[in-house]
Structure 1
Amino acid sequence: MKRPSRAKSVADILNKPAGKLQSLLKQSNSLKSINESVQKLLPEELKGHCTVSEYNQTSLIITAESAVWGTRLRYITSDLLADLRQAGHYSLANIQIKVKPSQSR
């Protein structure tokens, strides 16, 4: 009778170079890093109302809590893009603003 294989540790799974979890972890860390950069560059009044929702090296999508915050963010998008490039995100080509759908109905 064949013996069942030993269970893999979480560290083994996460550190597997070509694994799906490793890819997700890398993507998550990248998103966290760019979000931290964006939050540092945003004016104080926008910091709690906007967050990076997608990032793929050339395009960044920032989600705003409401249309009001989205509009304010749109006014500074070109400056934010320039500041992010200066901070080391050289391949970033555009920033899109999306508004979180309203929950009240």
Structure 2
Amino acid sequence: MKRPSRAKSVADILSKSDGLLKGLLKQSNSLKSINKSVQELLPDELKGHCEVSEFNQTSLIITAENAAWSTRLRYISSELLANLRQAGHYSLANIQIKVKPSQFR
């Protein structure tokens, strides 16, 4: 019977340049960074009710808690896009706003 290979450390896995985990970590950090920028630029009443759910360099999807917050966010989306570009996210071309799916009870 073949002996199982030795377990690899997380550092070894993340150090592989073509590794899946390294790509996921990079994507996660990118999402966290853009979400932080968005939260800083949102008006106080919207903070905590909206969050970035997807980001792919040119398109940003922000999810709002409900339709009311979504509508408020739509009113400021063009200003938010301009401010994000000014903050260094030059490649952003559009912002889409979606409503968070409700939890079924």
Q: TM-score range by the shorter chain?
A: over 0.9
1:3 shift after superposition: 5.5
1:5 shift after superposition: 2.9
1:4 shift after superposition: 4.3
Aligned to 1:31: 31
Gaps of 5+ in 1: none
Separation in structure 2 between the aligned mates of residue 3 and residue 95 of structure 1, nearest angstrom:
52
Separation in structure 1 between the aligned mates of residue 93 and residue 4 of structure 2, nearest angstrom:
51
Separation in structure 1 between the aligned mates of residue 93 and residue 27 of structure 2, nearest angstrom:
19
Local SS of the residue matching 2:45 = helix
% identical equivalent positions: 83
Separation in structure 2 between the aligned mates of residue 11 and residue 93 of structure 1, nearest angstrom:
35
Amino acid at match of 2:69: W
Q: Once the two structures are superposed, what CA deviation does each residue of 1:47-71 show, in whole Å capped at 9, x if it has no partner?
A: 1100000000000000000000000
Runs of 4+ displaced beyond 4 Å: 1-4
Corresponding pairs, count:
105
Q: Once the two structures are superposed, what CA deviation does each residue of 1:24-77 show, in whole Å capped at 9, x if it has no partner?
A: 000000000000000000000101100000000000000000000000000000
Separation in structure 1 between the aligned mates of residue 73 and residue 59 of structure 2, nearest angstrom:
16
Amino acid at match of 1:79: E
Gaps of 5+ in 2: none
TM-score normalised per structure 2 = 0.93
Separation in structure 2 between the aligned mates of residue 6 and residue 20 of structure 1, nearest angstrom:
19
Amino acid at match of 2:39: Q
